[in-house]
Amino acid sequence: MLRLTKHHGLGNDFLVALAEHNPGLAPDPVVARALCDRHLGVGADGLLHAMAPDRPGADARMVLLNADGSEAEISGNGIRCLAQALLLAAGRSEGELLIDTPGGRRRVRTLGGDVDGEARLEVEMGEVRAGPPITVAAADEPATNRATVDVGNPHLVLQVDHVDAVDLGTLGPRLEAGFAEGINVHVVEPSGPAGLRLRVWERGVGITRACGSGAVAAAAAAHGWGLVGGEVTVSMPGGDATVTLTPGGAVLAGPSTYVADVTVPLGPGGMQP
């Protein structure tokens, strides 16, 4: 049996498995695909694992498998959900956690709310860097501005006139396929000197209701284009996140909502094919 909790950050939903509740826990793409399937499984954008840290100072090590079983380096929404699950398991209503990810160490702290309901948390997302070279297809795509951004994972950000007019289900996979390691594809529209509208195609998942690392990438790109200042409200179909850009990186703030405890069988006849 696998013990999980389910959470979402602005509709970007995750199943969370804690090593302390699941002896012998090991990330498995087959299990991730089965569990995340919205028709045959529990349903989620990804399966998060809270593993024992392998470096001093961390509270946990995060491993995120996307709905297709591929591994993601970081997730701004996912790490808030993981932190909420760890706090719930520890019986803590608030606090600060250091979580290691393939994209680097991240500090997460509570800002308010209820860890057994909707909590608000902020994540120090680390350094914001230039992403991989823009492909010919991305350069040819009609856009007012375009940039790639790396916040521990890669993003392509396109400024468009109206995000709702973009066929993201076609554009996203087409542009993602041009990058050797894949990429998250975002269309962004300014909504004022401190606001952006954002729609997201996530590598390994598809269209999602929100993307935390994508919100950071979009805010950083728009700031570089002179469209917004250092604090930005990023509005996505699932709701709003706040990005604060600093000389040392970026801080992402937004909600994480606990949904349910979930226990599933694994093996013959269970969730694992």
| Percent share of the chain, pLDDT over 70 | 97
pLDDT for 189: 98
pLDDT for 272: 52
Domains of the chain in sequence order: 2-124+256-264 (3.10.310.10), 129-247 (3.10.310.10)
pLDDT over threshold 70, residue 270: no
Instruction: Kindly state the average pLDDT of the residues 159-168.
Output: 98
pLDDT for 32: 97
pLDDT for 140: 97
Q: What pairs with residue 184 in β-bridges?
A: 155
pLDDT over threshold 90, residue 267: no
Report the amino acid identity of residue 76.
G
pLDDT for 268: 59
Residue 138: enclosing H or E segment and its boundaries?
helix 136-140
Cβ contacts of 236 within 8 Å, gap of 6 or more? 10, 197, 198, 199, 200, 209, 210, 211, 215
pLDDT for 248: 85
* CA 140/CA 65 separation, integer angstroms: 32
pLDDT for 273: 43
> 212-224 and 76-90 helices cross at what angle (nearest 10)?
140
